[in-house]
Amino acid sequence: TDYDLIIVNGVVVTDTDIAELDIAVKGEQIAKIVPKGQLKDAKAARTIDAEGGYVMPGGVDAHVHLQEPPLFGKGSTADNYETGSRSAVCGGTTTMVTFAPQKKSEDTLLDTLHATHAKAKDVCYIDYSFHLLVGNPSERALSEFKTLREEGISSLKIYMTYEALQLHDGQILDVLLEARKQQITTMVHAENGQVIDWMTAQLEKKKMFAPKYHGTSHPPMAETEATYRAICLSEFMDTPILIVHVSTPAAAAHIKSAQDRGLPIYAETCPQYLFLTKKDLDQPGFEGAKCVCSPPPRESEADCDDIWEGLANGTFTILSSDHCPFRYDDAEMGKKSSVSEQYPLGHFKYIPNGCPGIETRLSLTLGEDRLDLKKFVEVTSANPAKLYGLWPRKGGLIEGQSDADINIWYPPGKMQEYILTNDMLHHDVDYSPFEGRTLKQWPRYTVLRGQIVWDKENGGLLGKKGYGQFVKRDASSLAGPRKAGEWEIPL
Ligand code: URP
Ligand code: ZN
Ligand code: ZN
Ligand code: ZN
């Protein structure tokens, strides 16, 4: 045979092109990508007829929390590397970048990295890398950035909120300075932690404990202010940042105006901010806890419309899940982690922050039919790969350069629409905040490094635990500092 796998009759969509092309895979890579019909004489071990469906690069989800200790309120994340990556592959995501969380009490980042490697090794269904979550930018931690790069890590995340993680502005400058030297992309959780704590105390005094007050405690102003502050710190240090999980139109406007001035400010949003609003936090009983994340779902559908618009106009570089799974059972009953005797049932402030969504990110967003198809591939696959140093191995379909990571979607009219229920999903969480929504698309086949790992109609999950590999990353291939090379603190 000439090839291991051939995919014919598809409409191939990448971040730059859409065309009727056929794809040949040899080993783990894209070997050929040619006009429709040109592979008809080629011999392959397996041929998939896409029947006119879209064929896209596999999803790259660059914001995933797995097996993390309690950092965002009470409770450890529910999914481990096995169940989280299993859920990912069943929804068409073939590469994930998760967090390696350094606690404030720890001095080193390398130990954190090695401990996270141990969690992921031999259990992942998809390829993976880590962002270092810097909880303590000690002298030692900063001195380790260089080694991180040597070990294939080119990004880190810092927080402007959460008691367990919040850095003050001087610490942020320390991180940005060293990140600049090592060509590391810094992700920033931009919410003003002191504003949130103050609002939470006000609400508690008035006995306003219900989940919906989580939204009140995180006003848009707290996000807008921190976003603008992060942009100022980044411009001062002349080093790129990515603002994670942007939810507020006013914050997006600051980002857009910085981008219009030519600054390397990147931004991410998530399905939560496209699909959920304040109403989802205000449900009977404690149900609103299912939609508690930070930033929270915002005021109205008009806010969601603005976030969709930001995806369309390029304000948002990437669309990630921010999969940060906690069990509703934990939140409600307090049996395991989220409440104890000291922490009575039902206070919003003890609900761990985060929603599951690694499996639904692609299908929900594509099914809405609101984004240009190339834009969809750009924000869910190509750009996360470029921004985090995985391109062109991941996020593209380039002959001889890209891994054969491919999603083949249902052709128009071929998939029976259905209502999403949690039991269809493969995570280890007892709910999805998106249950009840209509799904109009789902990957029919998913290929990872040449292997068919998902076949919706013939066996579902076919991939094997442990097939996923750690992928070393380079520096971002998107625009970096405005002044290249040597640079001095402006003194
Ligand atoms: O609510 C959220 N987003 N939880 C995850 C932690 C984070 O800040 O990304
Ligand atoms: Zn090492
Ligand atoms: Zn965050
Ligand atoms: Zn997150």
- As for ligand 1, residues whose beta carbon falls within 6 Å of it are 65, 72, 189, 245, 293-294, 322, 324, 353-354
Q: pTM of the prediction?
A: 0.97
* Gap from CA of 148 to ligand 2 centroid (Å): 8
Across the beta sheet with 93-101, the strand order is 59-64, 93-101, 127-133, 155-159, 185-189, 241-243, 265-269, 318-319
Tokens 């031999």, located at residue: 122
Q: Residue 485 has what pLDDT?
A: 77
Q: What per-residue string of b and e applies to 47-79 under the rule 16 or more CB within 10 Å gives b?
A: bbebeebbbbbbbbbbbbbbbbeebbbbbbbbb
Q: Residue 72 has what pLDDT?
A: 74
Q: Residue 332 has what pLDDT?
A: 47
* Gap from CA of 402 to ligand 1 centroid (Å): 31
* Gap from CA of 238 to ligand 3 centroid (Å): 23
**Structure tokens belonging to residue 485:** 């090379």
Output the residue whose Cα is nearest ligand 1's atom 9: 322
* Gap from CA of 400 to ligand 4 centroid (Å): 34
**Structure tokens belonging to residue 341:** 């005797």
Which ligand is closest to the CA of 190, given by its number?
3
Task: Tell me the best of 167, 214, 217, 294 to mutate to test the pocket of ligand 1, counting ligand atoms within 8 Å of each CB and taking the most.
Answer: 294
Q: Are 319 and 271 in contact (CB under 8 A)?
A: yes
How many residues are given for the chain?
Answer: 491
Which ligand is closest to the CA of 148, given by its number?
2
Which ligand is closest to the CA of 353, given by its number?
1
Instruction: Enumerate residue ranges in the chain where pLDDT < 50.
Output: 332-338, 340
Residues with CB under 5 A from ligand 3 (ion): 189
Interior CA angle at 142 toward 141 and 146, to 5°? 105
Both ends of the chain: CA-CA distance in Å? 65
**Cis peptide bond N-terminal to 392, omega within 30:** yes
Which ligand is closest to the CA of 73, given by its number?
1
Task: Tell me the best of 79, 97, 196, 245 to mutate to test the pocket of ligand 1, counting ligand atoms within 8 Å of each CB and taking the most.
Answer: 245
Helices (H), 206-318: 213-217, 220-237, 249-260, 271-275, 278-281, 301-312
Q: Residue 345 has what pLDDT?
A: 57
Total Cβ atoms within 10 A of residue 15:
23
Output the residue whose Cα is nearest ligand 1's atom 5: 354
Ligand 1, residue 293: give the atom nearest the CA.
1
Q: Residue 491 has what pLDDT?
A: 85
Element (H, E) at 195: helix 193-205
Residues with CB under 5 A from ligand 4 (ion): 322
| Cα–Cα distance list, 284 to 280, 288, 339 (Å) | 10, 7, 20
* Gap from CA of 305 to ligand 4 centroid (Å): 22
Q: Are 445 and 455 in contact (CB under 8 A)?
A: yes
* Gap from CA of 33 to ligand 4 centroid (Å): 36
CB neighbour list of residue 198: distance below 8 Å, 6 or more residues apart? none
Which ligand is closest to the CA of 218, given by its number?
1
Q: Residue 488 has what pLDDT?
A: 84
ipTM: 0.96
* Gap from CA of 154 to ligand 2 centroid (Å): 14
